[in-house]
Amino acid sequence: MRKGIAVSPGVAVGTAYVIHEIFVNPDTKRLEDQEISAELAQYETARDRAAADLRALQHKVQAQVGGEAGAIFSVHESILRDAAFTNRVRGWIVNDRLTAQAALHRLLEEYTVLFAKTKDEYLRERLTDVRDVIIRLSSHLSDVLKPEQHALEGPMIVVADELLPSQAVALGNLEVRGIVTQAGSQTSHAAIIARSRGIPAVSGVRGILKQVKTGDSLVVDGREGCVIVNPQPEVRSAYLKLEREFFLLRDQLAANRDQPAVTADGVALELLGNINNAADAKAALAMGGSGVGLFRTEYLYLTHADIPDEDEQLAAYEQIIHASPQHQVTIRTLDIGGDKTVPYLGHHNQEANPFMGWRSIRLSFEHPEFFMTQIRAILRAGVLAEELGGQVKMMFPMITTVEELHRLRLMVRRACSQLAKRGLKYTEVPLGMMLEVPAAAITIDVMLPYVDFVSIGSNDLVQYLMAADRDNPKVSHLCQPLSPAVLQVLRRVIRACRRANKPLTLCGEMAASPRAFVLLLGMGLRNFSMSPAFIPSIKDLATHITLPEAQRVLRKALRLTTTTKVSKYMEKELKRIAPNLSLLDMA
Got the DSSP string for 406-453?
A: HHHHHHHHHHHHHHHHTT-------EEEEE-SHHHHHTHHHHGGG-SE
Q: Rounded distance, CA 204 to CA 226, Å? A: 10
Q: Which of 121, 51, 49, 117 is nearest to 82 (CA)?
A: 51
What residue spans of 269-367 are helical by DSSP H?
A: 278-286, 298-302, 310-323, 360-366
Q: Rounded distance, CA 472 to CA 442, Å? A: 26
Q: Specify the DSSP class assigned to residue 264.
A: T
The tens digit of pLDDT for each residue in 340-351 reads: 555 556 544 455
**Given CA atoms 33, 34, 40, 43 in this order, what sign does their dihedral have?**
negative
Q: Rounded distance, CA 297 to CA 320, Å? A: 11
Burial pattern 550-560, b for ≥16 Cβ within 10 A else e, equals: beebbeebeeb
Q: Give SS3 for 566.
A: helix
State the number of CA atoms in the 13 A half-sphere of 369 facing the CB: 7
Query: Which candidate in 76, 367, 497, 507 is catalytic?
Result: 507
pLDDT at 516: 95
pLDDT at 544: 95
Q: Give SS3 for 480.
A: coil
Rounded to 5 degrees, what are φ and ψ at 577?
-70, -45
Q: Are strands 226-229 and 2-3 parallel, antiparallel or unpaired?
A: antiparallel
Q: Which of 391, 460, 490 is nearest to 432 (CA)?
A: 391
Q: Rounded distance, CA 55 to CA 53, Å? A: 6
**Given CA atoms 53, 171, 40, 129 in this order, what sign does their dihedral have?**
positive
Q: Say if CB 529 and CB 332 are below 8 A apart.
A: no
What's the first-to-final CA gap in the chain, in angstroms? 17
What residue spans of 18-164 are helical by DSSP H?
A: 36-64, 67-81, 83-95, 100-117, 121-141
Is 367 in the active site? no
Please give the domain boundaries of the chain with CATH numbers for all domains: 2-23+146-251 (3.50.30.10), 33-138 (1.10.274.10), 264-580 (3.20.20.60)
Query: Which candidate in 189, 327, 367, 544 is catalytic?
Result: 189
Q: Rounded distance, CA 489 to CA 394, Å? A: 24
What residue spans of 118-222 are helical by DSSP H?
A: 121-141, 165-170, 189-196, 208-211
Q: Rounded distance, CA 200 to CA 273, Å? A: 18
pLDDT at 319: 95
Q: Measured between alpha carbons, how far is residue 174 from residues 153, 290, 453 in Å? A: 11, 29, 39
Q: Helix axis angle, 514-523 relative to 547-559, nearest 10°?
A: 100
pLDDT at 145: 43
pLDDT at 147: 46
Rounded to 5 degrees, what are φ and ψ at 393?
-120, 150
The tens digit of pLDDT for each residue in 51-85 reads: 888 888 777 777 766 656 567 778 888 888 888 88
Q: Name the stretches of the chain with pLDDT < 50.
A: 22, 24-25, 143-151, 166, 347-349
Is 189 in the active site? yes
Q: Rounded distance, CA 402 to CA 339, Å? A: 26
